[in-house]
Structure 1
Amino acid sequence: MASKFTLLILFILFFLLSDFFIPSDQSPTNSKQTEFFAVLKKSLSGDALSDWNLTKKPVCNFSGVACDDRGLVVGLDLSGRSLSGHFPPDVCKYIPALRVLRLGGSNNFLDEFPHGVTNCSVLEELNLSFLYLQGTLPDFSAMKSLRILDLSYNAFRGNFPISVTNLTNLEILNFNENGNFNLWKLPENISGLTKLKTMVLTTCMVYGPIPRSIGNMTSLVDLELSGNFLVGRIPAQLGLLKNVRQLELYYNQLFGEIPGELGNMTALVDVDMSVNQLKGTIPETICRLPNLKVLQLYNNSLSGEIPAAIEESTTLTMLSLYDNFLTGQVPRNLGRLSPMLVLDLSENNLSGPLPTDICRGGRLLYFLILDNSFSGELPQSYGECQSLLRFRVSNNRLEGSIPKGLLGLPHVSILDLANNNFSGPIGDSIANARNLSELFIQSNKISGVLPSGISRATKLVKIDLSKNLISGPIPSEIGNLKRLNLLLLQGNKLSSSIPDSLSLIKSLNVLDLSNNLLTGNIPESLCELLPNSINFSNNMLAGPIPLSLIKGGLVESFSGNPNLCVSTEVKSSHKAISNFPLCSKPYNRKKLNSIWAISISLMIFIVGAVLFLKRRFGKEKKVIEHDETFSPNSSYEMKSFHRISFDQREIMEAMVEKNIIGHGASGTVYKIELKTNEVVAVKRLWSKKLEKNYSPSDYDDQLILHKTLKTEVEILGCIRHKNIVKLFCYFSSLDCNLLVYEYMPNGNLWDALHKGWVSLDWPTRHQIALGIAQGLAYLHHDLPRPIIHRDIKSTNILLDVNYQPKVADFGIAKVLQCLGAQDSATTTVVAGTYGYLAPEYAYTSKATTKCDVYSFGVVLMELITGRNTVEDEFGDNKNIIHWVSKKVDTREGAIEVLDKRVPGSFKDEMVWVLRVAIRCTYKNPVLRPTMKEVVRLLIDADPCKPFNSSSKSSQKINDNINDNITMNKDTGHDSDVEGPLSSQPVH
């Protein structure tokens, strides 16, 4: 009997332990694993899974898969693999031992949170970052083993999952950039997460006070609560967090004084409490922190002096205190002991001399002290600061000459010395400024001539040298500045004629040469430019005003030139030019005789030169009378994105001068009617055939053009939206690049608004606004990766036959990359157009979707007011946003800015949409709406439906405006209103 019982026991034990004798690849669990990966491979697509072959190797050998000693899958990492398709929801039903699941970054296989993941009871790490997931989140309470939960960069909505406070093993909690949650408060029991080292709740709709209990979370190393709606005082209990290295509370509504107890956080490296309502002095205890590298307190109401202890720091790299009420002098030795990268003290009441050793460490990138009362001369050491990227000292009391070398620093992109008392000439060193994008020296006492070497700073986009004592001619070489967007030289003593070479600057948008001593004719070639703003008034110009400039509505720009005149036929058809005399016949004969004399002299010179060369070299040089790159027989790479009914030859043969309809910053545009009666627009990108002795800058330009083509083709080729211009195909060779688009018969929005060819009623303007918004919302929210256009302006909005808008010109657009997104959107040169640029982009060159929202808001203001973005009425260095914000404090003021040409009674709707435009142009990018929200707001204001100004959405936007109406009041920081760390700090 005992032996039978023993055998029975042995049998049961064998049965229970039989799994251990089954080979691992044949166990039921491993069979389920194989089944899961077969389903996963079938569900997903992407080259990254090419090594997943179930017939040749076990799943444990697949890339991205980790197994334990028993062959059980414990880790699955598919992050950053550019995969698409569908991810199976019940992953832990098949892989019960899974401890690590990483799906985030550069993938597109999820729409909502995979709720089945909450059944993964042993899961320790879940990373779904950068997937832009929507929908609501589940209860996480069952996932007791979780140590890392990273759901950053998504778009979850509904209630925030407070259940995460039950996950007592959490070490990292990251919900960064989830701005669609309902408002929620940090609970007191958050302190129960005693193992938490990283808590990132940035931009995820947290409101209310910071609980004092956070002081008990002593394991914290990284605490980030920025971009929310936190109120109240900063709790002194934060000083108990001795291990915190990074403390970020910026972009909230915190008030009161900064607790001195924060000086007890001796591990602190990075402190950012900017854009709040903090007052009082800067605690000296913080300035004495032994490891402090970054201190940012900008845009608060702090007062008093900068603590002298800050100059003793040996670690400080960034000090940003702009837009406060600080007084006194800057500590004289600031930067002597520490390797400074950024110093921004702008918009305070600081005075006295500037620190001489701020660049002693040789790493300084940003030096920004504008809008203070600094005096004395610029230290000569500033001219040797080779690392500088931005140097802004405008609106102070500085004097003396500009240090030798400062204007020619090799990396500097912005030099702003405006509104001081600088004297002396602009040095020849400007020729070395190969990366200079913006040069502002207006309203000083600069004298001498404008050096021709400025033409070698070929990356210049903006030049403002107005209101100085500059004399002599405008150098003809200025036409080499092909990227120039703004040129302001008014109020000097410039003499001689206007150079024809200005017509070569196809991107020129604002040109002001008024109040000088310029003579001669207005070059006819300038008619090719027709910038948004032009001013030649109060000079000594003579001769006829070019007809196309008159048609462009720019007549007032020629006043104060007694010798300018107009022809009889022009005067009879344009009433606005009644103040100008008729051009006399003697003048015309004199002009004709001059032309004949010049022509004959030129012919004699050419004939003599040809004979000389023939004798000298024994052969004639062939004169090429056409552009070889236009040959229909040339070899081109061609790629189409839609079905087309034309070929390369038909396009090439039609690219003749009579079909040219415009010139842009990147090329010439042709209107071509095909044999099928279809009409297309062809953009030929500017190019330059490289000669044997080409210069490095020629080669750089060629690379830029190819990059521009590639960018526009890659973006537009994959886009399908009714409000995005359609790209049919492209032709590309070494010397000629062509893009073939659908043709828009009603031109661009700027012409429609400002040239007076048509009268757009409000329903049409609203239709245009809504269409643009829908196109941008598609780019920002409906693609696997958001696309930032970066140059939204009225000239880049094309209108079809029914005035439906289409966003065009993606030559400088940027596709945000999932990984390394903070760097991917950064450029060294500011792109975009003056008057439309978001302040933070002009400051940091960091493009975000909120930059496009800002530019759209400017276009919206154009639609509502009918005004240009830049007009003399707005004031020096002021734009339409400043003008509107000064008017809309009252309803009467808001009515006043509406375009008087708009027929019908839509004032309430227009004012309401104007308030949408104001929200879009807030200086603080966090407060701007998304383009999806803008679309909803514009739909609510449909003029074809009954308008209810007391509706919930109307009331919401009115409350928003009333609370923030001063956000756009100009504070003098010009394009730098938000500072270098506007939407995210630079670390």
Structure 2
Amino acid sequence: MVLNLSSPPTLFLFFFLWCVVVAGDGGAAVAEAALDAQAAYLSQMKQEFAGPAMARWDFSSPGVDYCKFQGVGCDASGNVTAIDVTSWRLSGRLPGGVCEALPALREVRLGYNDIRGGFPGGLVNCTSLEVLNLSCSGVSGAVPDLSRMPALRVLDVSNNYFSGAFPTSIANVTTLEVANFNENPGFDIWRPPESLTALRRLRVLILSTTCMRGGVPAWLGNMTSLTDLELSGNLLTGHIPLSLARLPNLQLLELYYNLLEGVVPGELGNLTQLTDIDLSENNLTGGIPESICALPRLRVLQMYTNKLTGAIPAVLGNSTQLRILSVYRNQLTGELPADLGRYSGFNVLEVSENQLTGPLPPYACANGQLQYILVLSNLLTGAIPESYAACRPLLRFRVSNNHLDGDVPTGIFALPHASIIDLSYNHLTGPVPATIAGATNLTSLFASNNRMSGVLPPEIAGAATLVKIDLSNNQIGGAIPEAVGRLSRLNQLSLQGNRLNGSIPATLAELHSLNVLNLSYNALAGEIPEALCTLLPNSLDFSNNNLSGPVPLQLIREGLLESVAGNPGLCVAFRLNLTDPALPLCPKPARLRMRGLAGSVWVVAVCALVCVVATLALARRWVLRARQEREHDGLPTSPASSSSYDVTSFHKLSFDQHEIVEALIDKNIVGHGGSGTVYKIELSNGELVAVKKLWVSRRSKQEHGHGGAGCLDRELRTEVETLGSIRHKNIVKLYCCYSGADSNLLVYEYMPNGNLWDALHGSGGWGFGFLDWPTRHRVALGVAQGLAYLHHDLLFPIVHRDIKSSNILLDADFEPKVADFGIAKVLQARGDRDASTTTIAGTYGYLAPEYAYSSKATTKCDVYSFGVVLMELATGKKPIEPEFGDTRDIVQWVSGKVAGGGEAEALDKRLEWSPFKEEMVQALRVAVRCTCSIPGLRPTMADVVQMLAEAGPAAGRTAKDAASKKDSSGEPKL
């Protein structure tokens, strides 16, 4: 055994052994001393690694048998052969001299911990080491020369922060069977050397996201022992080499997210062991080879987002193994295989955005496992198969933008797990049936631009989770059911272009989350409900109906007369513009049509004017006297006269400037910040509002002038313009803005439960931490819906750029509101949801990693930040905790738990009693997807809403239901 005498632990062990030999104990003593040296090393390892799990190694008793320690494996002679502390939440360094102290060591598994000090250099001297796993351990720095590990079979250093040159020295470790470097984007740009072909035993080669450039090496075809080849997430160019077809044992081939071009080689059909192939997100052309589709073990075929043409080979319908077919966003033509899914446990059909023709495959759900039908934007014809109505596992059913016809099977509307039913832009007929009450997880119902008829059933209120309804441009008649007002989450109601009659239900005023209300081009009659106008959705249209009576004053104030055009019976109480005869004046009541009425009106008006002037004079005198008295008593006076503010209102106000300004006194202060003060003000009507008083900066005064109002700083102006233009139940409501020469006042709705950060992490955890998971899930889903609205439902997407738990406010019912839009960015690139801005903004711990090298903020940055918040909700931990280590945060910690199957260990200990642990684990998995280091792999916020809705506690479900939420296989259901 060669000793490294430069290592302090080695010197200690060498001295210890020498002393024993000198004492005359001979060979037996040496053996005993070696065992004692192993105990000494393990004891030192316990001291080096901080973490409660190390308490499992108890050295307090004499003659302790460390071979019985959890995580320690020994041979029959008591020699340590394995150390496995995977997911122990340890933080520290591996002590040096490990190979000298533990000469029989064969396996070291340190994954999902926090390993300090870079790659544990002492391990490279372990000539007997066969397995080394450092995955997801926050290891940084260079990978050393690994050639001195001649016995190494398995090397997993995935998901770390290695930098510098890629360790091509692994080519000298000819015993390697598994080499996993996945997700190490810090390596220098490199190209794999042909010397890797020396690894004759290599089965698994994972080099995804390692900054690899150039083409896919043709010599890979010589590594015939490969079963798993993953090169995705790099910048590989050129063609897929035909030589890959010479890999007879290959089961998994992943080349997605590269820049590959050319055709998919038909020769890959020679890979008879292949089960999964993913060539998505490249620039591939040509057709999908029939030879690949005929592979007997093929389970997953993914080639989406390429430039593929031709038909999907019919032979795919004969497969007995196929689970996933995902070829959307190509240029494919022809018909879908008629027998697709007939003979296999088919799960996912994603063929959207192609040019496919013919009917939908009737047997897609023959084996009852289909969850996704996504065929939108094709040229499909025929009827929706009746068999789809019985496909209860379906989560998303999207067939929009095709040429489908016939009646929609009634059961489609009643799918119990579906979150989206999208039938829009077809030639479909039939009614919306009463059975829709059974769609208890439905959030979006889209069926616009069809030929549907019948009436809108009141049973639609049974689908209580509905957020969006778009049934526009059909032939639906009858009245709008009053029951629609019970859909409390409804954000969009689009019923324009139908044959609706009757009056507009006043119950629609109960839809406080409504952003889009379009009832135009129908035959609605009666008056416009006054209460409905208090909602003022972002988009409101009552035009071209048979409405009558006066236009509500609120619509006139907001300049929304165009939204009521085409209703001959409507009128206005007074003329706003004498040159605009768009709407007539309402007829005067009969009692006022008498001689001399004009004179009486003038008398009344003059008297009223005199009274107003007198009242204002008295009020001014009272204010001045009150101010003099306060100054005499040494009390603070009002910061400014209310007349010195310019007001911009965004909602109907129940208060005036005077009431707000006079309440800005010390006793109402509830918080201070770097830019101003926050007040809690109780209005005379009993309502509460929050007021931000922000001082005007010197620079802003210089830009806008010293004397006038309207000195809005850039961030304040951004917040005012953003919040003033949007309305959503999960975005904080800005009532108005008072802008003055020295200060600006923002008046918001008051949130009695403060912000989410304080609720989760505040001193004493004042109660929120002990609320059940359904409440936390509601918070997460609400925030996701608010962000999805910002990203997807506006003309120009808005990137918040500072999503964090302290910017999420909670109302009395713990309904969340996204706040603080001071650094939000409106993406003017219309239709580009990932358009970017180049100003770095946000908060440490919530920032997406691409900020570090691109300084670009996109909607995917908000998705990442939301993922961090979702982890906070599920774990109860802050984004940065000492237990994570200096180089790790909650993202790495949670990702490690999920990847290692230890999700339950990461859940908030305050909810250990919760019967909803499976749902919490599902939320963690969603959070991990949101925080993927590659932005393109993160879901959109619209997708996040659906995933959370699908994985959340069902409404009204009890703890007993949660405890039994498993199928016969023991797996959790969605």
Shorter-chain TM band: 0.5 to 0.7
The match for 1:176 among 171, 182, 193 is: 182
Aligned length: 716
Q: Which residue does the alignment assign to 1:98?
A: 105
Q: Secondary structure at the match of 2:496?
A: coil
Q: Which residue does the alignment assign to 2:211?
A: 205
The one-letter amino acid of 1:75's match is A
Question: Does structure 1 residue 21 correspond to structure 2 residue 91?
Answer: no
Deviation at 1:399, TM superposition (A): 0.6
Question: Does structure 1 residue 77 correspond to structure 2 residue 147?
Answer: no
Deviations 1:174-209 (A, max 9, x none): 122222323222222222111111111122222211
The match for 2:49 among 41, 44, 53 is: 44
Residues 498, 162 of structure 1: CA spacing in aligned structure 2 closer, same or farther, 3 A cutoff?
farther
Q: Which residue does the alignment assign to 2:461?
A: 455
Q: Which residue does the alignment assign to 2:351?
A: 345
Mapping of residues 334-733 of structure 1, within 5 Å: 334-526=340-532, 529-542=535-548, 556-561=562-567, 586=589, 657-660=686-689, 665=729, 682-683=751-752, 704-708=774-778, 727=806
Deviations 1:572-592 (A, max 9, x none): 9xx9999666667649999xx
Question: Does structure 1 residue 820 correspond to structure 2 residue 827?
Answer: no
Residues 316, 925 of structure 1: CA spacing in aligned structure 2 closer, same or farther, 3 A cutoff?
closer
Question: Does structure 1 residue 777 correspond to structure 2 residue 847?
Answer: yes
Structure-1 separation of matches of 2:116 and 2:553: 59
Question: Does structure 1 residue 152 correspond to structure 2 residue 158?
Answer: yes
Residues 440, 68 of structure 1: CA spacing in aligned structure 2 closer, same or farther, 3 A cutoff?
same
Gaps of 5+ in 1: 1-10, 591-641, 645-649, 672-677, 687-700, 714-721, 755-764, 783-787, 797-805, 826-843, 855-918, 929-972, 981-987
The one-letter amino acid of 2:66's match is V
User: Does the 8 Å CA contact 1:491/1:514 hold for their aligned counterparts?
Assistant: yes
Residues 287, 706 of structure 1: CA spacing in aligned structure 2 closer, same or farther, 3 A cutoff?
closer
Residues 151, 588 of structure 1: CA spacing in aligned structure 2 closer, same or farther, 3 A cutoff?
farther
Deviation at 1:555, TM superposition (A): 6.0
Deviation at 1:551, TM superposition (A): 6.5
The one-letter amino acid of 2:74's match is C
User: Does the 8 Å CA contact 1:683/1:738 hold for their aligned counterparts?
Assistant: no
Deviations 1:13-60 (A, max 9, x none): 998995641286x51x44444444444333434332232221133433
The match for 2:129 among 123, 130, 150 is: 123
Structure-1 separation of matches of 2:117 and 2:569: 68
Deviation at 1:416, TM superposition (A): 1.5
Q: Secondary structure at the match of 2:476?
A: strand
Deviation at 1:476, TM superposition (A): 1.9
- TM-score norm. by structure 2 comes to 0.63
User: Does the 8 Å CA contact 1:527/1:549 hold for their aligned counterparts?
Assistant: yes
The one-letter amino acid of 1:41's match is K
- TM-score norm. by structure 1 comes to 0.63
Q: Which residue does the alignment assign to 1:267?
A: 273
Residues 370, 518 of structure 1: CA spacing in aligned structure 2 closer, same or farther, 3 A cutoff?
same
Q: Secondary structure at the match of 1:191?
A: helix
Q: Secondary structure at the match of 1:378?
A: coil
The one-letter amino acid of 2:688's match is N
Deviation at 1:659, TM superposition (A): 0.5
Q: Secondary structure at the match of 1:515?
A: coil
Deviation at 1:421, TM superposition (A): 0.4
User: Does the 8 Å CA contact 1:790/1:847 hold for their aligned counterparts?
Assistant: no
Question: Does structure 1 residue 313 correspond to structure 2 residue 319?
Answer: yes
Structure-2 separation of matches of 1:552 and 1:535: 13
Deviation at 1:86, TM superposition (A): 5.1
Structure-2 separation of matches of 1:707 and 1:790: 21
User: Does the 8 Å CA contact 1:670/1:681 hold for their aligned counterparts?
Assistant: no
Deviation at 1:535, TM superposition (A): 3.3
Residues 176, 534 of structure 1: CA spacing in aligned structure 2 closer, same or farther, 3 A cutoff?
farther
The one-letter amino acid of 1:357's match is Y
Residues 543, 300 of structure 1: CA spacing in aligned structure 2 closer, same or farther, 3 A cutoff?
same
Q: Which has the larger displacement, 503-512 or 249-258?
A: 503-512
Q: Which residue does the alignment assign to 1:943?
A: none
Deviation at 1:218, TM superposition (A): 1.6
Q: Which residue does the alignment assign to 2:760?
A: none
Residues 242, 408 of structure 1: CA spacing in aligned structure 2 closer, same or farther, 3 A cutoff?
same
Residues 731, 529 of structure 1: CA spacing in aligned structure 2 closer, same or farther, 3 A cutoff?
closer
Deviation at 1:509, TM superposition (A): 3.4
User: Does the 8 Å CA contact 1:198/1:220 hold for their aligned counterparts?
Assistant: yes
Which is greater in Rg?
Answer: 2
User: Does the 8 Å CA contact 2:776/2:873 hold for their aligned counterparts?
Assistant: no
**What RMSD in Å do the two structures reach over aligned CA positions?**
5.2
Structure-2 separation of matches of 1:772 and 1:589: 62
Q: Which residue does the alignment assign to 1:251?
A: 257
Q: Secondary structure at the match of 1:231?
A: strand
The one-letter amino acid of 2:321's match is T
User: Does the 8 Å CA contact 1:708/1:812 hold for their aligned counterparts?
Assistant: no
User: Does the 8 Å CA contact 1:60/1:73 hold for their aligned counterparts?
Assistant: yes
User: Does the 8 Å CA contact 2:115/2:138 hold for their aligned counterparts?
Assistant: no
Q: Which residue does the alignment assign to 1:59?
A: 66
Deviation at 1:382, TM superposition (A): 1.6
User: Does the 8 Å CA contact 1:189/1:213 hold for their aligned counterparts?
Assistant: no
Residues 589, 654 of structure 1: CA spacing in aligned structure 2 closer, same or farther, 3 A cutoff?
same
Residues 14, 303 of structure 1: CA spacing in aligned structure 2 closer, same or farther, 3 A cutoff?
same
Residues 308, 792 of structure 1: CA spacing in aligned structure 2 closer, same or farther, 3 A cutoff?
closer
Q: Which residue does the alignment assign to 1:195?
A: 201
Q: Which residue does the alignment assign to 2:242?
A: 236
Deviation at 1:275, TM superposition (A): 2.2
The one-letter amino acid of 2:316's match is I
Residues 444, 110 of structure 1: CA spacing in aligned structure 2 closer, same or farther, 3 A cutoff?
farther
The one-letter amino acid of 2:170's match is V
Structure-1 separation of matches of 2:24 and 2:274: 54
The one-letter amino acid of 2:417's match is H
Residues 643, 587 of structure 1: CA spacing in aligned structure 2 closer, same or farther, 3 A cutoff?
same
Deviation at 1:67, TM superposition (A): 2.4
Structure-1 separation of matches of 2:263 and 2:367: 33
Deviation at 1:417, TM superposition (A): 1.4
Deviation at 1:79, TM superposition (A): 1.4
Deviations 1:404-452 (A, max 9, x none): 2111112222222111100121122211111222222111111111112
Q: Which residue does the alignment assign to 1:216?
A: 222
Deviation at 1:680, TM superposition (A): 11
Gaps of 5+ in 2: 1-17, 594-670, 674-678, 691-722, 736-746, 756-770, 784-800, 828-835, 853-857, 876-889, 904-922, 951-974
Deviation at 1:749, TM superposition (A): 7.2
The one-letter amino acid of 2:198's match is G
The one-letter amino acid of 1:475's match is P
How high is the sequence identity, in percent, across the aligned residues?
41
Residues 110, 397 of structure 1: CA spacing in aligned structure 2 closer, same or farther, 3 A cutoff?
same
User: Does the 8 Å CA contact 2:870/2:924 hold for their aligned counterparts?
Assistant: no
Deviations 1:210-259 (A, max 9, x none): 22221121211111112222222222222221111111122222222222
Mapping of residues 573-972 of structure 1, within 5 Å: 586=589, 657-660=686-689, 665=729, 682-683=751-752, 704-708=774-778, 727=806, 770-772=840-842, 776-777=846-847, 792=862, 816-821=894-899, 847=926, 924-925=936-937
Structure-2 separation of matches of 1:459 and 1:45: 46
Residues 305, 753 of structure 1: CA spacing in aligned structure 2 closer, same or farther, 3 A cutoff?
closer
Structure-2 separation of matches of 1:556 and 1:775: 47
Deviation at 1:74, TM superposition (A): 2.5
Deviation at 1:401, TM superposition (A): 0.3
